[in-house]
Structure 1
Amino acid sequence: MNLGKTRLAAIVGATLMAGGLMGGVAMAYQSHMFAARNALYAARSQLQVSRMNKGGHRVAALQAVNAAIRQVDLGIRVGR
């Protein structure tokens, strides 16, 4: 298969651009994961300073937020 230099350069350029675009999408998605983790940290902080247990729901919410933080951390690691 004999490709001309111009055609080969176009193919290589298109491949590099596509890879760069995919990398940009991955980084954008990762930024959402970091934003979600920050929101979960804020939620946990608010739950921790709450005085009343609210019939056990505050403790359950803290456990759920902590579990969500662990899952987001795992997702961030996999996304790297």
Structure 2
Amino acid sequence: MFVIGTLGALVFTGIGVGTGVAIADQPHMENALHDLQTAQSQLQVAEPDKGGHRDNAINLVNQAINEVNLGIQFANGQ
């Protein structure tokens, strides 16, 4: 029983490591995601009165974050 449980844990861990490697092979997508998340944070703390442009920018950045995540998932076959 112990051997089977350990083997299962190793297989599961291997799948996670394999996924991590695939993501690591996408440095430009990961960098873009990080930069978009930074932009999102900065927009959130910016003064709100910008004629609606700040809110539009937040929405567009959120859409871009979603698209980058979808692209990473697609590249990883998920």
The corresponding residue for 1:10 is none
**Identity over aligned residues, as a percent?**
49
Q: Say if 1:53 and 1:59, in contact at 8 Å, map to a contact too.
A: no
- Backbone CA RMSD of aligned residues: 1.4
Structure 2 length normalisation: TM-score?
Answer: 0.64
Distance 1:61 1:52 in 2: 11
Matches of residues 44-63 of structure 1 in structure 2 within 5 Å?
A: 44-63=40-59
Equivalent pairs, count: 53
Deviations 1:17-75 (A, max 9, x none): xxxxxxxxx92xx1110100000000000000012331000000000000000000000
Runs of 4 or more, structure 1, over 6 Å off, are: none
Alignment partner of 2:65 out of 55, 65, 69? 69
Q: Which runs of 5+ in 2 are unaligned?
A: 1-23
Q: Which runs of 5+ in 1 are unaligned?
A: 1-25
